Structure 1
Amino acid sequence: MMKIGIDISQIIYQGTGVGRFTQGLTEAILNYDKKNHWLFFFSSFRQSLNKNIEEKIWQKGHQLISWKLPSFFLSFLFNDLHLVTKPLINTFSSLNSLDWFITSDWIELPISIKKATVVHDLVYCRYPQTLPKKIIKTQEKRLHWVKNETEIIFADSNATKDDLIDYSKIDPQKIIVNYPGVSIFTPPDNLIKKTLKKYQLEEKKFILTVGKIEPRKNIERLIDAFNKLNPANITLAVVGPQGWGQIKFSSSNIKYLNYIKDAELYSLYSSCLFFVYPSLWEGFGYPIIEAMALKAPVACSNTSSMKEAAQNCALFFNPFDVEDIKLKMKMMLENDKLRKDLVAKGKVNAKSFTWKNYYLKLIKTLSTFK
């Protein structure tokens, strides 16, 4: 039996890839681990951990440490200063009995036990102009400690592994590629109808895109391509929380739905004409697999991990080229056979991304580390 600690603080960021990852991994540990003992670490100044997850942690015989501290303070304390203050010493002394601690992609704890971490992407290296300076600084500091103190790095994709090697000169033998799982359910017809009515959309009469409103998600080029294409009786539905980008959704046939609950999102995946994902760079690309699992044909960027995730089951375009995005959307609109072929292949592809597989590889890696 191993004693393993894990930081799940980022579980609160609903509607984001990192939030989905943390939620999925937490549930996988609680569902599949019958042997090891886990200590879950959670900190948020304003939000609390979901009660169902908290109760399940204790019911399964694990432990939970909760702090009411803001993320910027922890980042300064652990990433910048890399030290522990007196009020936190008791908590940290309890961590010394652990065999492993798995850090989040936001802070690196200054502890002497073996550490593993997850790196989702290195967007701040490739496209720093798409991120706020605060995030760039935090990731730079964090990666310094990852490089120097972490025994194992789990990368979401080979694209992320390559970036870790190229930009950070990290030893390739420390990096393990482990594809995240995707957890979804198939929405019933009545929920789909209710969701479509709520957002004033018609089944198979809209194109869906999902992503936080920030420059990296490339929504502006998608909107340009859609406006140039100007398809009759087709709406572009944009789902995702507000980030640090600003986009004007001025066209009557473009609807910005903001963040919506998963049940509604799954209903839109299931009823859209096709799904388009124009992101400039991703560490994995959850929406691609979610869309495929719910039988939506997918068109997406031909960069980074998106080609890994989608395999040969999507129609690819250059995300920097508005004309190419427009052309591929036109092909999807006009070619029924293309859409049906992509649905069939995508459904098979999506089945390979499970949280059980992720959990099993993680545990095997930790238990066999020498």
Structure 2
Amino acid sequence: MNILFDYQIFCIQRYGGISRYFYELANNLGKLDQTSVEIFAPLYTNEYFDEDKPIHPRGTRLPRTLPQMLSRRISTFSNVGVFNLLKHKFHPDIFHETYYSLFDCCPLRAKRVITVCDMIHEKYPDNFSILDRTREIKARSLHRADHIICISENTRRDLLELTDIPNEKISVIYLGHSFVTLPVSPKQNRKNRPYLLYVGKRNGYKNFVTLLKAYSESKLLKNDFSLVCFGGGGFTSTELKLFKALNINPDNVIYVSGDDNELAAWYRSAAAFIYPSLYEGFGIPPLEAMSCECPVVCSNTSSLPEVVGSAAELFNPEDTTEMRLAIERVVSSLDYSARLIAKGKQRVKLFSWDKCARDTLNTYHQLLNN
């Protein structure tokens, strides 16, 4: 089977969850018998691919010195023209679009496949600019696709609820997990206090403000634990004002960043990983935490119960008291933390990129046979 991935996500993201998914999917599909995998991206910015890997984009990576927005615009507009000019030279069985596009670049006779990671733009439109056209472009992309892959049952349910896409056009294939890192120590932990760990962006539906309120209402958490925020950018002036309004000592809320090795070190030393998001299409960070033997405390909404199973302490992310009590239950009991860690080590075994690739290949075959 000949499989062609387009350029889109590799122009949009230097790093990121969706481009990581397609990087892993392409390389694991390439390991399977009787498959030929190609990524056509004349210009791209993504950093996951290594020239030594068997699968990498056919094209040129733009200089890292270019600002990301400029790189994105140059590569996107250039690739649309080049792709349409040269697509007659490709003869894939499957054309897998890596993001949503107004332009139909599918080569003749290929079957179109697209992956839907979440319906966040449709469920939380207020989190996005009125100039954001993702919903409109997504709708066009989904209707022209021959088949749609959703990364969780929850995403499939949302897609069916919010669009007129028929159920028979959709498959659910879970993401994999491959958080392989080197053993290093965290670079910074002020006062050497135990800490709770939060990872990623903190705006909107990520629900960081509710976590701050839960933290501020707990004498146990405020007195005995720092709150470490990994990634997502430095604290804004609004956040700093909120620390003060909630009587949170700013020295106890710590921003750090780094690569996967550094992140893994923070996971391994945390008293608990907290994931208060209101909505996730899948949610890889809880699996990362479990693989690093860190107990997970997370929301009971959207896809997260599917991912974590019984290996995490769950809470209603809109209930500050329930969130606080859930965190306190985990950090105040070494026995309970140890049980969650043991369950987490077993849970992550259910998710692999090899299984994701094999399930995806089966879906391709079913599409072609039908």
Q: Sequence identity of aligned pairs in percent?
A: 27
1:172-187 to 2 correspondences below 5 Å = 172-185=167-180, 187=182
C-alpha displacement at 1:203, in angstroms?
7.5
Distance 1:347 1:90, change over 3 A: same
1:95-114 to 2 correspondences below 5 Å = 95=90, 97-107=91-101, 109-110=103-104, 111=106, 112=108, 113-114=110-111
Match of 2:344 in 1: 346
SS in 2 for 1:124: helix
Match of 1:163 in 2: 158
Give distance in 1, aligned partners of 2:332 and 2:53. 48
Match of 1:337 in 2: 335
C-alpha displacement at 1:55, in angstroms?
3.6
Match of 2:124 in 1: 127
Give distance in 1, aligned partners of 2:49 and 2:326. 44
Match of 1:144 in 2: 140
Using structure 2 for the length normalisation, give the TM-score.
Answer: 0.84
Distance 1:205 1:361, change over 3 A: same
Q: Check whether the contact 2:296–2:313 (CA below 8 A) recurs between aligned residues.
A: yes
Distance 1:89 1:19, change over 3 A: closer
C-alpha displacement at 1:44, in angstroms?
5.6
State which drifts further: 303-312 or 98-107: 98-107
C-alpha displacement at 1:141, in angstroms?
1.4
SS in 2 for 1:5: strand
Give distance in 2, aligned partners of 1:300 and 1:284. 13
Using structure 1 for the length normalisation, give the TM-score.
Answer: 0.84
Deviations 1:188-237 (A, max 9, x none): 3xx12xx2xx2225778111111223212111111121122242231111
| Residue type of the alignment partner of 2:357 | Y
Q: Check whether the contact 2:149–2:172 (CA below 8 A) recurs between aligned residues.
A: yes
Distance 1:73 1:163, change over 3 A: farther
Q: Does 1:211 align with 2:200?
A: yes
State which drifts further: 294-303 or 34-43: 34-43
C-alpha displacement at 1:242, in angstroms?
3.5
C-alpha displacement at 1:129, in angstroms?
1.4
Give distance in 1, aligned partners of 2:25 and 2:101. 18
Q: Check whether the contact 1:317–1:325 (CA below 8 A) recurs between aligned residues.
A: yes
Report how many aligned residue pairs link the two structures: 347
TM-align CA RMSD: 2.9
Give distance in 2, aligned partners of 1:48 and 1:125. 27
Give distance in 1, aligned partners of 2:305 and 2:102. 30
Give distance in 2, aligned partners of 1:204 and 1:29. 44
SS in 2 for 1:282: coil
Distance 1:16 1:6, change over 3 A: same
SS in 1 for 2:21: helix
Structure 1 residue runs without a partner (length 5+): 79-83
Q: Check whether the contact 1:297–1:314 (CA below 8 A) recurs between aligned residues.
A: yes
Deviations 1:245-268 (A, max 9, x none): 8752442111122x4200111111
1:150-299 to 2 correspondences below 5 Å = 150-185=145-180, 187-188=182-183, 191-192=184-185, 195=186, 198-200=187-189, 205-230=194-219, 231=221, 232-242=223-233, 248-249=239-240, 250=243, 251-257=250-256, 259-299=257-297
| Residue type of the alignment partner of 2:37 | W
| Residue type of the alignment partner of 1:150 | A
| Residue type of the alignment partner of 1:17 | G
C-alpha displacement at 1:117, in angstroms?
0.9
Q: Check whether the contact 2:177–2:284 (CA below 8 A) recurs between aligned residues.
A: yes
Distance 1:203 1:316, change over 3 A: farther
Give distance in 1, aligned partners of 2:14 and 2:300. 26
Structure 2 residue runs without a partner (length 5+): 63-69, 244-249
Q: Check whether the contact 2:121–2:134 (CA below 8 A) recurs between aligned residues.
A: no
Give distance in 2, aligned partners of 1:287 and 1:331. 21
| Residue type of the alignment partner of 1:238 | C
Give distance in 1, aligned partners of 2:283 and 2:191. 26
C-alpha displacement at 1:142, in angstroms?
2.2
C-alpha displacement at 1:294, in angstroms?
1.4
Give distance in 1, aligned partners of 2:364 and 2:162. 25
| Residue type of the alignment partner of 2:135 | Q
Q: Check whether the contact 1:221–1:320 (CA below 8 A) recurs between aligned residues.
A: yes
SS in 2 for 1:252: helix
Q: Does 1:24 align with 2:24?
A: yes
